[in-house]
């Protein structure tokens, strides 16, 4: 499924003109595409929030720089962590980019995690759920990238967010 962008008008007077998006959503498509994420996206667009809704993979011919640009141009990044989030190398890559972009940029930018049927400890790699999933990527991406992903997960898992358990 292709990445989509809201063409709706912006709602906030606080939005800086250089911000193309108010919110950047990242999620594991197979877990979240047609339920919670779709509802959240439509609700935000309905009230005029400009949302970059990202799918889990790049389409042929698309550039990673497009996603990085969207992260940089968003005021708030919302990763929606789910049971299979860490099984996607693309989701892990985006989360690492999100952490790097936010830490290097405007301190007014925020990351607000949503833990959907997972706990913050799963994301912080204190349980086997994400640990096992990440290890499956080791041969494909190497140790350095794996460490980058792990560091990003631990950082975001330590942030205050919304925990939605038992929603499946």
Note the Cα 136 to chain centre separation in Å. 20
Q: What's the confidence (pLDDT) of residue 102?
A: 78
Low-confidence ranges of the chain (pLDDT < 50): 1-17, 56-58, 60
Q: What's the confidence (pLDDT) of residue 4?
A: 39
Question: CB of 98 within 8 A of CB of 127?
Answer: no
Backbone angles phi, psi at 20, to 5 degrees: -75, -30
Dihedral sign, CA of 16, 163, 117, 95? positive
Q: What's the confidence (pLDDT) of residue 105?
A: 66
Question: CB of 102 within 8 A of CB of 155?
Answer: no
94 noted as active-site residue: yes
The closest of 125, 129, 114, 116 to 151, measured between CA atoms, is 125
Q: What's the confidence (pLDDT) of residue 10?
A: 39
HSE-up of 114 (CA within 13 Å, CB side)? 18
Full-model pTM:
0.81
Kindly name the residue from 56, 94, 150, 155 that is annotated as catalytic.
94
The closest of 72, 85, 144, 146 to 113, measured between CA atoms, is 85
The closest of 100, 49, 37 to 72, measured between CA atoms, is 100
Q: What is the DSSP letter of 63?
A: -
Q: What's the confidence (pLDDT) of residue 12?
A: 42
Question: CB of 132 within 8 A of CB of 76?
Answer: no
């Amino acid at each position: 499924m292709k990445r989509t962008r809201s063409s709706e008008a912006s709602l906030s007077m606080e939005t800086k003109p250089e911000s193309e998006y108010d919110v950047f959503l990242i999620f594991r498509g197979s877990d979240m595409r047609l339920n919670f994420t779709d509802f959240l996206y439509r609700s935000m667009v309905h009230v005029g929030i400009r949302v970059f809704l990202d799918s889990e993979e790049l389409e042929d011919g698309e550039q990673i720089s497009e996603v990085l640009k969207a992260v940089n141009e968003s005021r708030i990044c919302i990763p929606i962590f789910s049971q299979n989030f860490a099984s996607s190398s693309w989701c892990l890559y985006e989360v690492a980019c999100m952490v790097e972009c936010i830490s290097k940029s405007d301190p007014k930018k925020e990351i607000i995690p949503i833990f959907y049927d997972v706990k913050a400890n799963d994301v912080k790699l204190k349980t086997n759920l994400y640990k096992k999933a990440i290890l499956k990527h080791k041969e494909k991406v190497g140790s350095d990238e794996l460490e980058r992903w792990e560091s990003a997960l631990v950082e975001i898992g330590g942030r205050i967010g919304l925990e939605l358990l038992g929603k499946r």
